Amino acid sequence: MMKKLILLAMLAFGVAAGAHASGGDLVWDKAPSRTNDLPALQNGAKLFVNYCLNCHSAAFMRFNRLKDIGLSEQQIKDNLLVGTDKVGDTMKSAIDPRQAKDWFGANPPDLTLIARSRSGHGGTGADYLYTYLRTYYRDPAKATGWNNLAFPNVGMPHVLWELQGEREPIFEKIEEHGHKVEVFKGWRQVSPGTMTPAQYDQAVGDLVSYLQWMAEPGQNSRVRIGVWVLLFLLVLTVIFWRLNAAYWKDIH
């Protein structure tokens, strides 16, 4: 049952403290962009291996690709490899697919591209994940004991609850278009976690940034090259414009 909880928690990442719900609609918080911040990405990779890789794979990412975020091969071996994993291996979960299907009803989804696939009308996939991981709350009515504002009736438990602690959402009933609806007003901390709220938000931001980087490791290089290409074309345009003016100035 405990592993069943871990499955959906990495998919349904929750809504930030400033988000609100009205009539079942939830506003996604803006995820911090740290895909150029190597220490943040390294911390996110550590959180991913420790809390996500038990059930979820990232089958399109190899451990040695983490050298791109500033980790040495020895650091990867010492801190991120589990069991018989090798540096050149892909990030595959050791969970038995048949057992996973029995526990969850389906195999835990691969998370390599989760930050790209979860985008929607509320924002980017990173916004959704950042929101989801921050809006878990205790719900005794659920089999797992947890629920989520971004993913109501989520089947996965809050795998990061020891870091965040336990919270309860505060709702206010209002009348809207002739119907009574509940509006999310904030949180009440039931028990503290090992991190302060600010530290937890920082950690989730790092994890989401790593998931965002993992979904497209070459994104930053592509953006940098694109900027230089545009600058080159701009300079070339100025040169050609001046050459054209010089060529035609004596022609009537």
pLDDT tens for residues 66-115?
999 999 999 999 999 987 889 999 999 888 878 877 776 667 789 999 99
| Beta pairing class for 58-62 and 90-91 | antiparallel
Q: Which CATH number fits domain 2-217: 3.20.20.80, 3.30.360.10, 1.10.760.10, 3.40.50.2300?
A: 1.10.760.10
* pLDDT confidence bin for 65, thresholds 50/70/90: very high
CB 63 within 8 A of CB 84: no
What H or E segment, with its residue span, contains residue 62? strand 58-62
Q: What are 115-173's pLDDT values in tens digits?
A: 999 988 889 999 999 999 999 999 999 878 899 999 998 878 899 999 999 999 998 88
Q: What are 34-57's pLDDT values in tens digits?
A: 999 999 999 999 999 999 998 889
Picking from 9, 33, 91, the residue whose alpha carbon sits closest to that of residue 58 is: 91
Q: What are 173-212's pLDDT values in tens digits?
A: 888 777 888 888 889 999 999 999 999 999 999 999 999 9
CA distance 48 to 40: 12
CA distance 93 to 88: 15
Given CA atoms 225, 226, 227, 229 in this order, what sign does their dihedral have? positive
Sequence ranges of the domains in the chain: 2-217, 221-252
Query: Quick one: how many helices (H) and strands (E) in the chain?
Result: 9, 8
